[in-house]
Amino acid sequence: MTDTLPLEGLLVVDFSQFLSGPFATLRLADLGARVIKIERPGVGDLCRQIYLTDTEIGGDSTLFHAINRRKESFAADLKNPDDIGRLRRLIGHADVLVQNFRPGVISRLGLDYETLRKDHPRLVYGQISGYGDKGPWVPRPGQDLLAQARSGLLWLNGDREHPPTPVGLAIADTLAGHNLTEGILACLVRRGITGQGGLVETSLFEALIDFQFEVLTTHFNDGFRLPDRSGVNNAHAYLSAPYGVYPTADGFLAVAMTPVPKLGALIGLDELTAYEDPKSWFTERDAIKALLRDYLGQQPTEHWLSLLEPADIWCAPVYDWPTMRAHDGYRALDLEQMIRRAEDEVEIRTTRCPIRVDGDRLISEKAAPTIGMNTEAITAEFGLNG
Q: Is residue 243 part of a domain?
A: no
Same domain? For 15 and 128 the reply is yes
Q: Return d(Cα 93, Cα 322) in angstroms, integer.
A: 45
What is the full per-residue pLDDT of the chain (386 aa) written as tens digits?
457 899 999 999 999 999 999 999 999 999 999 999 999 999 999 999 987 777 888 889 999 999 999 999 999 999 999 999 999 999 999 999 999 999 899 999 999 999 999 999 999 999 999 999 999 999 999 999 999 999 999 999 999 999 999 999 999 999 999 999 999 999 999 999 999 999 999 999 999 999 999 999 999 999 999 999 999 999 999 999 999 999 999 999 999 999 999 999 999 999 999 999 999 999 999 999 999 999 999 999 999 999 999 999 999 999 999 999 999 999 999 999 999 998 889 999 999 999 999 999 999 899 999 999 999 999 999 999 97
Tell me, yes or no, whether 87 and 173 share the same domain.
Answer: yes
Contacts of 223 (CB under 8 A, 6+ apart): none
Q: Which stretches within 47-80 are classed as H helix?
A: 62-67
As a whole number of angstroms, the distance between CA 315 and CA 309 comes to 7
Q: How many domains does the chain have?
A: 2
**Active-site annotation, residues:** 236
Whether 95 and 184 map to the same domain: the answer is yes
Q: Is residue 269 part of a domain?
A: yes
| One domain, residues 311 and 346 | no
Let me know whether 202 and 275 are in one domain.
no
CB-CB contact of 170 with 177 (8 Å)? no
Sign of the alpha-carbon torsion through 334, 336, 340, 346: negative
Do 270 and 182 share a structural domain? no
Q: Alpha-carbon distance 272 to 280, whole Å?
A: 11
Q: Specify whether 169 is located in the same domain as 51.
A: yes
Q: Indicate whether 47 belongs to any domain.
A: yes
- Rg of the chain (C-alpha set): 25
- CATH number assigned to the domain comprising residue 16: 3.40.50.10540
Distance CA 85, CA 382 (A): 13
Quick one: which H or E segment has residue 203?
A: strand 198-203
| Residues spanned by the domain of 271 | 252-317
279 and 176 in one domain? no
- Asked if residue 135 and residue 65 are part of one domain, the reply reads yes
- Whether 17 maps to a domain, the answer reads yes
Same domain, 57 and 88: yes
The reply to whether 368 and 344 lie within a common domain is yes
Distance CA 56, CA 62 (A): 6
**57 in a domain, yes or no?**
yes
Contacts of 57 (CB under 8 A, 6+ apart): 65, 346, 348
Do 39 and 78 share a domain, yes or no? yes
